[in-house]
A and B are shown apart, each in its own frame.
Chain A
Amino acid sequence: DTGVSQDPRHKITKRGQNVTFRCDPISEHNRLYWYRQTLGQGPEFLTYFQNEAQLEKSRLLSDRFSAERPKGSFSTLEIQRTEQGDSAMYLCASSLGTGGERGYGYTFGSGTRLTVV
């Protein structure tokens, strides 16, 4: 168990470009979550998958954002036509069942820091 891995760690892109981030959850975790965190704020929920099914999307997830988890393992988050307001840390987390069921919470990756210039 190597934890939740995210790639890349940092991404600088020009406004209007598309970017894609990858998340590899803990292998036996069936749930995968994407959050966004800006400076001085707590993480905000974007979307979550149970296995390969995307079961909930926040209204923060505009049409320019799309997430997939095609085989129920790794996930990708794509942002099209990036805007400066998209600059943030994008965090992935995974869990086996709900975070509280086993009392150990959700395991977060180190995130991808996106800077849109």
Chain B
Amino acid sequence: GQNIDQPTEMTATEGAIVQINCTYQTSGFNGLFWYQQHAGEAPTFLSYNVLDGLEEKGRFSSFLSRSKGYSYLLLKELQMKDSASYLCAHEEGNNRLAFGKGNQVVVIP
């Protein structure tokens, strides 16, 4: 089921670092995804973790601990365009994503 938890909103200053956490429960884990969604737009793929550890992609990094059912997304050197909702999702049954509610990040000057 959709047992996936994220905090709802945070505000951060341009140039700062933010960490968005996600906890999940699932009987069959096939990977953890992070998506970015600007208001009124499509979710866009940011990262995918299937093994424990940190995956780094430019300013964004994602971490996974399967034993703890926990992931985080790290956004560095925040820019105004990073103001968006960040969604974590785990893949269920090899055929669909179960999303959390998303975390709204607001970047201020």
Taking Cβ atoms with an 8 Å cutoff, the residues of A that contact B are 4, 31, 33, 35, 40-45, 48, 50, 55-56, 91, 98-100, 103-111, 113
Number of A-B pairs, beta carbon distance below 8 Å? 69
Contact between B30 and A100, CB atoms less than 8 A apart = yes
A102 CB to closest chain B CB (Å) equals 9
Closest to A105 in B: B45
Q: Which of B64-72, B75-83, B99-107 contacts A (4 or more CB under 8 A)?
A: B99-107
* Interface set, chain B 15-53, CB cutoff 8 A to A: 30-31, 33, 35, 40-45, 48, 50
CB of B89 within 8 Å of the partner chain: yes
Contact between A105 and B33, CB atoms less than 8 A apart = yes
A90 CB to closest chain B CB (Å) equals 12
Cross-interface CB contact of A99 among B41, B42, B91, cutoff 8 Å = B91
